Structure 1
Amino acid sequence: MPRSNVKYELTRDDDDANDYFLQHVQEYEGMSKKALFWRGIMQAVLLISIYFVLSIGLTFYQKWLYNTYSWSLAGIVFMISGGLVMFTYKSTSFDLIGFLLCLLASLTSGIRWTVAQLIMQKSKLGLRNPIDMMYYMQPWMLLAITPVAMVIEGPKVYRGLLNVDWNDTLLITTTAFAVIGGAVLAFSMEVMEFLVVTHNSSLTLSISGIFKEICILVIAYEWKGDRMNGLNFVGLLMCLGGIILHVINKILQNKKDSANELELESNSFANFVKPEEVIDTSAPLIMEKSSSLTNLLNADFSSDEEDEFKREPSPNQVLSDIILRRE
């Protein structure tokens, strides 16, 4: 008898083994559909939470960014993440490879915009202009994406070029305008993204991207017939509420920073001005003693002839000088 059959016979005759297997089969059969439903929800929440946290984790690292940490900002981030989980639940089938690719793309995008923020917000480097930043950044992006595009899209593009009817002027013109229009839109979008990163932060840009994704899903629901249940609708409201709270928080923070800068400027001006130079604005102007008016009244308005006469010695002084010389 083979060794595997011997093990099977021994295991079958063992009472403890039978009880063990029967116990787990009963536990699995006893699980209700509700428990399985919530288990699926928890798995989806875990995966999407990891995706969202890694997508904005670098922008939320506060030790070396310019944003100040606050619990309100943390609450806004978790509110948007929870709404995103609820809004995208069961919107598409889960694929592990696609999930890992999206996670990697989100991570590298966070690194890119965080480094761009650190570079563009340092005035010493002289790269606050988005065009200058794109001039130094786009060649490296093109170098990285060209091999991937050639591997994935290269054969399809080659077959398309072979099958093109070059005598069809309308088709060629339409394609050229579509490519040029897409390039102009992509360039404008890149400039706007760099401006947002320069004057705000990469976190604001990430939340703007989430708003864009929400708009895409809403358009798909309205025009493409995608389904949305109550849980998705509540998630949509949570995402929009988190975005609105972020905008309000940003406005309040900008007002606070402006007030602090104004107070700092006023304090520095008060320290620069001497106390005796401060004019009492509550006193009437006519009662103030003007130093310029006082100097004007005390001034000597003698003419040049009077000055020469004052400089000439008097006769008595001349006579006294002669007597002193004779003695």
Structure 2
Amino acid sequence: MATTTGAVETVDLRKSYGGVPVLDGLTMRVARGSVYALLGPNGAGKTTTVRILATLTAPDGGAARVDGHDVVRDRRRVRRTISLAGQHAALDDQQTGTENLHMMARLAGLAPAAARRRAADLLERFDLVTAGGRQVVTYSGGMRRRLDLAASLVGEPSVIFLDEPTTGLDPRSRQGLWEVVAELAGAGVTVLLTTQYLEEADRLADRIAVLHGGRLAAEGSASELKRRFGAHRLELTLHDAQSFAATAHRLGDRVTHRDETRLELAVATDGAAPEVRRLLDEVDPDRRGIARFTVREATLDDVFLTLTGDPVTARREVANV
């Protein structure tokens, strides 16, 4: 259960590389025992934020605290509190899964017998018992990510950072990792994850921070963000290519989705009947171009499009969801 004390807090956090701001005054707070997602396009500052919180990168300005410890002044205390699973698994391919976990446990200070028990417990928890005796080089992508996450939990951290943990995984492996994240939060671990998968943030996170240009564009639960920034969407299917082109021209930059192959277009609307009728009359005045239409509620995709203000980038980011 989350308490009123933040497990992770940043105030006016700033970082630049080569004079280019990557974080430009980021302020956020992550409640204890919650799952908090940093969502944003490439270059929004997600990974830089995680690196600063994990004490791997020093901020240029502002402040950040993890479990009450300043990430600059109290680096050692922060590192004893956290664990980090990055975008690339930090594993020894030539060792077995068991050997990797045993090595991590010994590095964490556990005695040999305790390290063996911890490795065995984690292999069971992450459904890797049968693969524990195999070299990691033989593991699938999903198995490697599960083992990497298991290794990050050897020291039983109170805060864990997951930097795009499911990138490149097949749907089954992604689902498995989602279950693990939910289990961690249920056990009281604070999870801060970065992701480009909108479905992932919608599914897992208690709170979502949308980063854009190094700033916090919005923060809230998925339902709050949809209500505040999303709109209903009028989805149109046209009769033919000529009708598609004419309708796309009339809508101009209001188009939020375009699929020329399927002859589909979409435009934001408030969902009210008068507004829908007005749009239909506007884009199909002779009532011959539209084959069918649908009005649906906002998704996190729509929120993302609204907040980032970059439809091209946003469509690329959501293409794999």
Q: Above 0.5 in TM-score?
A: no
Q: Which has the higher helix share?
A: 1
TM-score, with normalisation over the residues of structure 2? 0.24
Higher RCO, Cα 8 Å, sep 6+: 1
| TM-score where L is the length of structure 1 | 0.24
